[in-house]
């Protein structure tokens, strides 16, 4: 028998379709579905009861506590981890069982996941997961990247290892798989997939990238504290020649180095960029990306005018064509206009002729306000060596940011403003958005929450003694080319 355990915390929106996919499995054997309500405040429990699925209530918050409660309530020999915001193909359980039948020495079987609506970089992530797991098999003889939404194991082995370690690194993923590997093999089945929602990636890519590197750093600290792991790595590496090791280590290092330079906004590895200023003064710069986007940009300008604050707007050339009068108002109000490309292409920095797109945006801006911008911010904050060279050749100063908040998540304006205020430091550059690429009128281009957040940010930072300046004032660089003449 198989027991599927689904932890749930305020999952009313997603769990119904998840349970439908689990109940629709074509597995011929017996299986049960257990949902562990982890203290939900919404209608999660009602949805579960209506679906006729077993419900376990466990008020102690934490996914590992919920998974432990579900495993203890399970009647099956095999426990399968699932997630409430994920959909499972009909053959999913059948494939998991077939892996255990094929590998009687296995203690666990790990699958993978894809996104329901893959972001543009989705295939890159899938490939990186595969590479990391290949390296992990080479070093540790088990996969490293384990999906908590697609992992199965024998319940007797969970009892044998003492259950989930709640305060450990990645308790229901890396930690549980590494401990179960002492009881038997951990099989990785790259063809066993499930489709998870996009909510974890529905935020600016620089935030996702930052989270990834922070996660990697935490794992690095974790692994170096474990002498056994370091010894295993040393012993396995010792079986190969130095030349073989270098063939693996050098490419891996280069990939990491290039990803850091490309994805992390403040990284200077490809050339000089400005993410903040070094100053003892409590000055800070407000910047807005992706406008003009009406009516939100005008609402932002109204607030800035009322609060007597000047900001820097990195505008998209295609949007300037749509709202030229908004751009003219920015200049009339004393705000600074910067170049944010014409098309806002997500892979702008990878194109060798990206300078043409920058020039196109410059022509739109100059043709509207009669000024050539001196400041440039790349779309999504991504950089490449040739992109930086092109920007330098055009006479621009490349400006990134040091302070931001996920404007596309479900946080309230109050929560987002507090996040900004908490991260504020002297000389910081704040990233906000008055638009979303070249979209207008719906979806992510709706900036009501950002407009509501702005007065709270201004008031909160002024209460802490901060003075707002434009980026050109902060970095002591000209705002427009004519200023340099």
Active site residues: 289, 433
Element (H, E) at 298: helix 296-307
Retrieve residue 124's tokens: 């890159």
Q: Which tokens is 435 given?
A: 């638009």
Q: What does the block give as tokens for 407?
A: 């404007």
Beta carbons of 341 and 348 less than 8 angstroms apart: yes
CA angle 127, 171, 19 (to 5 degrees): 75
The token pair at 400 is: 């990134």
CA angle 171, 101, 189 (to 5 degrees): 50
Composition of the chain by helix, strand, coil, percent to 5:
45, 20, 35
- Take residue 170 and report the two structure tokens written for it: 């990645």
How far apart (Å, rounded) are the C-alpha atoms in residues 297 and 292? 6
Q: Which residues contact 393 (CB under 8 A, 6 or more apart)?
A: 355
Burial class (CB in 10 A: 0-12, 13-18, 19+), 340: buried
CA distance 38 to 200: 19
- What's the rounded Cα separation, in Å, for the pair 272 and 396? 11
Structure tokens at 50: 């209506």
Residue 81's φ and ψ, nearest 5 degrees, are -80, 135
CB atoms near residue 291 (< 10 Å): 28
CB distance 354 to 376 below 8 Å: no
């Amino acid at each position: 028998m198989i027991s599927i355990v689904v932890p749930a915390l305020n999952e009313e929106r997603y769990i119904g379709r998840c349970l439908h996919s689990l109940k629709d499995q074509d597995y011929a054997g017996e299986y049960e579905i257990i949902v562990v309500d982890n203290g939900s405040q919404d209608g999660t429990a009602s949805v579960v009861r209506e679906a006729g699925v077993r419900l376990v209530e466990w008020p102690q918050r934490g996914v590992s506590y919920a998974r432990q409660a579900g495993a203890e309530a399970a009647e099956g020999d095999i426990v399968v981890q699932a997630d409430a915001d994920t959909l499972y193909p009909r053959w999913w359980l059948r494939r998991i069982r077939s892996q255990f039948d094929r590998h009687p020495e296995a203690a666990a079987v790990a699958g993978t996941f894809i996104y329901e609506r893959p972001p543009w970089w989705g295939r890159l992530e899938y490939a990186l997961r595969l590479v990391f797991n290949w390296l992990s098999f080479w070093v540790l003889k088990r996969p490293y990247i384990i999906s908590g939404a697609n992992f199965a194991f024998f319940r007797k082995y969970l009892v044998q290892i003492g259950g989930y370690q709640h305060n450990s690194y990645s308790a229901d993923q890396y930690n549980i798989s590494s401990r179960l590997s002492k009881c038997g093999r951990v099989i990785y089945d790259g063809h066993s997939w499930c489709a998870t929602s996009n909510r974890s990636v529905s935020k600016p890519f620089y935030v996702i990238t930052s989270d990834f590197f922070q996660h990697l750093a935490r794992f690095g600290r974790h692994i170096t504290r474990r002498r056994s792991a370091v010894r295993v790595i040393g012993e396995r590496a010792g079986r190969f020649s130095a030349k073989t090791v270098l063939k693996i280590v050098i490419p891996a290092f280069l990939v990491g180095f290039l990803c850091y330079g490309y994805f992390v906004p403040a990284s200077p590895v490809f050339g000089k960029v400005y993410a903040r200023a070094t100053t003892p003064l409590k000055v800070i710069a407000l910047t807005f990306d992706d406008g003009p986007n009406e009516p939100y940009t005008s609402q932002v300008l109204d607030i800035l005018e009322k609060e007597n604050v000047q900001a820097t707007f990195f505008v998209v050339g295609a949007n300037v064509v749509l709202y030229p009068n908004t751009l003219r108002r920015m200049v009339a109000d004393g705000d600074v206009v910067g170049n944010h490309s014409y098309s806002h292409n997500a892979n702008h920095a990878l194109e060798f002729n990206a300078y043409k797109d920058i020039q196109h945006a410059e022509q739109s801006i100059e043709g509207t306000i009669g000024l050539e911008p001196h400041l440039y911010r790349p779309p999504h904050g991504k950089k490449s060596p040739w992109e930086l060279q092109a920007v330098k050749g055009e006479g621009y100063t490349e400006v990134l940011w040091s302070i931001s908040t996920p404007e596309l998540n479900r946080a309230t304006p109050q929560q987002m403003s507090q996040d900004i205020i908490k991260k504020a430091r002297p000389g910081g550059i704040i990233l906000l958005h008055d638009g979303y690429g070249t979209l207008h009128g719906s979806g992510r281009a709706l900036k009501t929450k950002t407009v509501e957040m702005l007065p709270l940010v201004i008031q909160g930072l002024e209460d802490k003694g901060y003075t707002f300046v434009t980026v050109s004032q902060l970095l002591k660089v000209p705002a427009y080319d004519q200023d340099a003449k």
